[in-house]
Structure 1
């Protein structure tokens, strides 16, 4: 993890409620914390001119979707993102998926779920219940995009919309 990432993550509020989608009122409390952390993360990104995703959930906070993008060689590559909250959340991190990239990289599972097992999952496990969705995006999806999008572009696995 580079210093910039560490500094950004240090500014994202840590969560305290240990609750998942099956925990009723405690889940509602956890969702409030999740939204506050996401709002803060978006503010941090906008302040540093590093806006790179949008996200929203269904009314229950169990299904999330949005867009993420990465700029490479002055071109913006945009993708749909989605994930369901695991029933064992927050002990289990959400598995972020970019379905349109399924099968284009080895660092992905069935359904377009990005591979975070080696680096991110141990970090998540050490930080339960303090890490949330904002942390998964900052420490999981952002580095994955930074590593994979240039590789996919350079190997002609994806093309910019203007080049299609």
Structure 2
């Protein structure tokens, strides 16, 4: 599948550190070790984006790293569209990928379900399963949220479903 990715995506994924700790939030002690790896990978990805002038999100976990919130944006025809996003780390993480939500877009595209969760079933979830436990939050953003925004935001703008915020 990596062969079908565009070169920027392929290069980005290669640079995001893979995670080695296999624990999720149910194992409190080992979860802290995993969370450190998650944050390291995320910091690496954010730095990489800023250095390449491709900054497109901010993110912050809660104190125990089980709920994450942030802002993401996509520029279409020189207009910036910005959205709040969030997700919870599933109890079965890292075997199960997080389900990323953009609540304000709920019901505005067929590629979304249950309260604003973006649809990642066909393309991303099999990739996550194949690469678990080595993928983490940074990979979910790079290979899940980013391509979803790139595909859906132009479609929603062109169909008049979303408008620029003034």
> Which structure 2 residues correspond to residues 74-153 of structure 1 after superposition, within 5 A?
74-153=78-157
Deviation string, structure 1 residues 20-61 (Cα, Å, up to 9, x no partner): 111111000000000000000000000110000000011010
Deviation string, structure 1 residues 104-152 (Cα, Å, up to 9, x no partner): 0000011100000000001000101100000000000000000000000
State how far apart, in whole Å, the 2-side matches of 1:112 and 1:12 are.
27
Aligned to 2:6: 2
Aligned pairs, how many? Answer: 162
Consecutive unaligned residues in structure 2, runs of 5 or more: none
- TM-score of the aligned structures, taking structure 2 as reference length: 0.97
State which of 32, 55, 61 in structure 2 corresponds to 1:28: 32
Deviation at 1:3, TM superposition (A): 1.4
Aligned to 2:41: 37
State how far apart, in whole Å, the 1-side matches of 2:8 and 2:61 are.
28
Instruction: Check if 1:155 corresponds to 2:155.
Output: no
State how far apart, in whole Å, the 2-side matches of 1:107 and 1:2 are.
21
Instruction: Check if 1:61 corresponds to 2:65.
Output: yes
The ranges of structure 1 where at least 4 consecutive aligned residues each deviate by more than 6 angstroms after the TM superposition are: none
Deviation string, structure 1 residues 75-104 (Cα, Å, up to 9, x no partner): 100000000000000000000000000000
Q: What secondary structure, in the 3-state scheme, does the structure 2 residue paired with 1:70 have?
A: strand
Q: What secondary structure, in the 3-state scheme, does the structure 1 residue paired with 2:115 have?
A: helix
- TM-score of the aligned structures, taking structure 1 as reference length: 0.98
